Amino acid sequence: MATVRPVGITINEIHTLGSRLVVRLPYFVVDAFASAVFRGNPAGVCPLERWLPEATLQSIAAENNLAETAFFVPDGPGYHLRWFTPTQEVPLCGHATLASAFIVFTRLQPDLRDVHFQTLSGPLSVARDGDWLMLDLPRYAPVHSQDKLADLERGLGVHVIEAFRVDDDPNYFAVVADEETVRQTHPRLDVLAALHPYGVAVTAAGESADFVSRYFAPSYGIPEDPATGSIHAALTPYWSAQLHRTTMRALQLSHRGGELRCELLDERVRVAGQAFEYLEGHITVP
pLDDT given at position 209: 98
What is the domain partition of the chain in residue ranges? 13-138+273-285, 143-264
Active site residues: 68
Strands 20-32 and 41-47: antiparallel
In this prediction, residue 139 carries a pLDDT of: 96
- Write the DSSP symbol of residue 168: T
13-138+273-285, CATH topology level: Diaminopimelate Epimerase; Chain A, domain 1 (3.10.310)
Q: Can you name the residues that pair with 49 across neighbouring β-strands?
A: none
Q: Express each pLDDT in 115-126 by its tens digit.
A: 999 999 999 999
To which CATH superfamily is domain 143-264 assigned?
Answer: Diaminopimelate Epimerase; Chain A, domain 1 (3.10.310.10)
For residues 45 and 30, the answer to whether their CB atoms sit within 8 Å is yes
DSSP-assigned letters across all residues of 60-114: HHHHHTSS-EEEEEEETTEEEEEEE-SS-EES--HHHHHHHHHHIIIII-TT-SE
- What's the predicted TM-score (pTM) here? 0.90
pLDDT value at residue 17: 54
Q: List, in sequence order, every beta strand (DSSP E) within 120-235.
A: 122-129, 132-138, 143-144, 162-166, 171-175, 199-205, 211-217, 222-225
* pLDDT one-digit tens code per residue, 156-175: 999 999 999 999 999 999 99
Torsion of CA 189, 192, 198, 202, to 10 degrees: -90
Indicate if 143-264 has the same CATH topology as 13-138+273-285.
Answer: yes
Determine what percent of the chain falls in helix, strand and coil, rounding each to the nearest 5. 20, 45, 35
Hey, how many other C-beta atoms are within 10 angstroms of the C-beta on 185? 18
Which of 112, 113, 117 minimizes the C-alpha distance to 97?
117
Instruction: Dump pLDDT digits (tens) for 249-272.
Output: 999 999 999 999 999 999 999 999
The pLDDT-based confidence of 21 (bands split at 50, 70, 90) is confident
Question: In this predicted model, what pLDDT tens digit does every residue of 81-113 receive, in sequence order?
Answer: 999 999 999 999 999 999 999 999 999 999 999
pLDDT of residue 16: 54
